[in-house]
Structure 1
């Protein structure tokens, strides 16, 4: 009996989309065709590959009227935010603009006797396993540079955003990228792991949970397949006594609550210098109380449902446990009657929290943030590093030297000063500890999607 992948809409619990799981031989056949087509794709001039990829992104933009409500139905983001096109375009444009430099050969010698050069060689077929929370941007992070670098790409999307891979691949095909060079796979976890274990790919990029990353590593064990893994996060912020409080509140509350808190680098725990603590908390509560929870198809709504009830239940459980251990919840449930105990989850701010509570230790990935006062930089640094994760950390101060000094000591992939919850395509997107390994975007992203190949050519035989 054929298995089916079903996207259950968080809006109303209906089956929004479904696709049959590809049989193993069909999926392997698509990847084999991609491997055959990759050589010819890599032989095309770089300028031609760039132009076709940019045309694919442009075609995707033309689908906005369909894509934006589809996203609301699939994962709950309010339509008022217009999808993910701002980030998609910024990242794609930047990666296209640096491709020639990032992929340029490194010339060592070109004399009468020797030519010695290091070139960048595509891996072959790159598998992109994309998540549901930012399904377009996270996919584009790898799809665009992988194709530009001369790889073929197989895209496997999360079931929660089942239509996104289909939509991206169609846009690129309609723009002229050969069909066999960029393929979409409808697979379950077992089918994905089987393809990796059978060494069908030269590189695998996965964005998702720590458990998912561990499963990918197990599948690739002994295959010498390159891996890029962006996994969990529990990103902290530290607001120092010289910070602009209003600016910090505006950015950090948005970083904690936007997309119903379902952001890889969203702010999940806050440490505030004791003299500012009460003011910061008061202003944060006022900020959050202005949010409007409800159906994401309504343009007045600022916070939609979480993508799945089990995600919302985890956040409720963390919040309930924290309150039972002495935390105080500052947002009145009466302000958010739309919280139905299902996918619609009200935002919450917790104080009197500590690191024995799950809400300050485990990934929440929802609209809840704990705020703690700290007496000095040393205490803030200790608490920020007291986590199994390391994706980003946000520092708020008027003193860049102080921020840089703290940044050196932070166990994280990116250090922000006076901003948060942003991905700069010119910088390597990376993490440490349980957040994973590897790096996307920037010139380093191109290096991870290619391998070095050395040419040592002696021009005379004697």
Structure 2
């Protein structure tokens, strides 16, 4: 039996308090069972306007952007501690609402706390410059908060994505209007409660559940100074277009069709084990999933055999079972889209090696078997299109230059990996692949090296970077000051 949801508000959070329901209610579904677990009131257009006014007032006349950065840091540390204290509450919400295996959900909660901890101590180490200009002139730069920022987060990592956006923005002194995905708003609403309790002034953080119409309003609104969006490339394009009308600062973290390049001299068993997490982590519902497995031709049989053996170690089942390592897809409609991609790949001539169906022992919910295709040529849709499910493809290559060309033959450039015992070869390939992140001989995701290293991509994978000091660059403006000393 599923445990009861932790208590959490289900209405918009505006100007420091949860508002009465005004917009249309959204049924929130457990993807493991497709049962309704809550009803969340979407923000009305009027509530969205109130949130923008509150954020504008908090920034233009409030204490937060004028507070010494060390004092802001102390509040961010309190938020981190409060997230940690409520680990089980947050993890249950992520698991029940998002279908995440509970062990992974706990790790993501810890990751969110670490992000707040990092930015609690980062802003007072983010400096301007002193620039030699002339003998009688002093020239220096200041870092000042960007202003009121809109933030739109995805359904696949709701709490973590909210932390990635809110923590650096708050550290910089911005005020925020954040719209979580309508599919997974619950952990973000609990985060709003934590933020308010930790002493963030009213209006500095506002949370607006809702759909595309709220996102459109935020992207277009003249009182918003910048917008940070994580989601699909299609929607990201629309956000950029809408923001252009008022020349907003824009950061976009979008799709990916990432390549894992395995040379014949690599540790094949280790590469296959890593590919398991890289392709099937979060049921493949990740923009940084490495689902294009480019394998040197002579190693294809051994790698395929090793990967098929590895997927047998995955356990699909209730996300609340500590032994579960593969949860469901987020919705029934998304299950259908993933299955359509699989059926099309079969029709196009790709060879199904493993998976490709609903698990026979899990007839309910949105579970999908980890799926491997071989003989996937670069002209197939499966090679180039982002599936966003537990589906990967194996494509052979012959030479180093061919591998580089195949990896770069993509509209995306977010993540990647290279496997070779020849470190010179691995570094040449890593430098040549057009991607924002790449791992050599390890790690299920390039960002695993540090959640504080820059995260983002080339080409249609986005604009700008999240995490690290790079995020502070987005949430600040640079002001040049020149003093005449004569």
Calculate the TM-score normalised by the size of structure 1: 0.94
Partner of residue 9, structure 2: none
- Aligned partners of 1:455, 1:332: CA distance in 2, in Å? 62
Relative to structure 1, the CA distance from residue 167 to residue 416 in structure 2 (aligned partners, 3 Å threshold; closer, same or farther) is: same
Matched, 1:438 2:464: yes
* Matching residue within 435, 440, 445 for 1:412: 435
Match for residue 34 of structure 2 among 2, 13, 20: 13
What SS does the corresponding residue of 1:161 show, helix, strand or coil?
coil
CA distance in 1, matches of 2:35, 2:111: 29
Alignment counterpart, residue 156 of structure 2, candidates 123, 126, 133: 133
Match of 2:93 among 67, 70, 73: 70
Q: Which residue of 2 aligns with 1:92?
A: 116
Q: Which residue of 1 aligns with 2:232?
A: 209
1:306 to 2:332 alignment? no
Task: Select which of 463, 476, 482 maps to 1:450.
Answer: 476
Match status 1:3 vs 2:24: yes
Q: 1:319 aligned to 342, 346, 349, which one?
A: 342
Q: 1:11-67, CA deviations, whole angstroms, 9 ceiling, x for partnerless residues?
A: 221222222222222221122112221242111111111111121122112112211
Q: Does the 8 A contact of 1:18 with 1:162 survive in 2?
A: no
Partner deviation per Cα, 1:199-237 (whole Å, 9 max, x = no partner): 231110000011211221122122010000011111110
Contact 2:94–2:105, Cα closer than 8 Å, also in 1: no
The residue number in structure 1 matching 2:46 is 25
Change (3 A) 1:3 1:279: same
Partner of 1:266: 289
2:13 maps to: none
- Which runs of structure 2 are paired with 1:153-192 in the superposition (5 Å)? 153-192=176-215
Map of 1:293-372 to 2, 5 A cutoff?
293-331=316-354, 336-340=359-363, 343-372=366-395
1:151 aligns with 2:177: no
Aligned length: 459
C-alpha offsets along residues 339-397 of structure 1, whole Å, 9 cap, x if unaligned?
A: 53861111111111112222211101111111122111122112111111110111111
Whole-Å Cα distance in 2 between the matches of residues 187 and 457 of structure 1? 48
Residues in 2 aligned to 1:258 and 1:407: alpha-carbon distance in whole angstroms: 22
Corresponding position of 1:79: 102
Q: Deviations over 1:64-115 (max 9, x none)?
A: 221112112211111132431232234333334432222x121225999543
Deviations 1:119-149 (A, max 9, x none): 1111111111111111122221121111001
Shift of residue 427, structure 1, vs aligned partner: 2.7
Q: Distance in 1 between matches of 2:269 and 2:278?
A: 14
The answer to whether the Cα contact below 8 Å between 2:251 and 2:465 also exists between their aligned partners in 1 is: yes
Aligned partners of 1:218, 1:235: CA distance in 2, in Å?
A: 26
Structure 2 CA distance for aligned equivalents of residues 132 and 288 of structure 1: 25
2:279 aligned residue = 256
> Which of 25, 43, 46 is matched with 2:69 structurally?
46
Is the contact made by 1:145 and 1:446 (CA closer than 8 Å) also made in structure 2? yes
Shift of residue 417 of structure 1? Answer: 0.9
Q: Residues 55 and 205 of structure 2 are in contact (CA less than 8 Å); yes or no, is this contact kept in structure 1?
A: yes
Q: Which runs of 5+ in 1 are unaligned?
A: none
Inter-partner Cα distance in structure 1 for 2:419 and 2:332: 34
How far, CA to CA, are the matches of 1:136 and 1:2 in structure 2?
A: 23
Deviation at 1:331, TM superposition (A): 2.0
Distance verdict in 2 for CA 1:112–1:87, change over 3 Å: same
Q: Is the 8 A contact 2:253 2:462 kept in 1?
A: yes
CA distance in 2, matches of 1:26, 1:96: 30
Which has the larger displacement, 25-34 or 198-207? 25-34
Tell me how far apart the structure 2 counterparts of residues 201 and 20 of structure 1 sit (CA, whole Å).
23
1:395-443: CA deviation from partner (whole Å, max 9, x where unpaired): 1112332222122321211122123414234432121211111111222
Structure 2 residues not aligned, in runs of 5+: 1-21
How large is the Cα RMSD of the aligned pairs? 2.1
Structure 1 contact 426–442 (Cα < 8 Å) conserved = yes
**Partner residue in 2 for 1:122:** 145
**Partner SS for 1:306:** coil
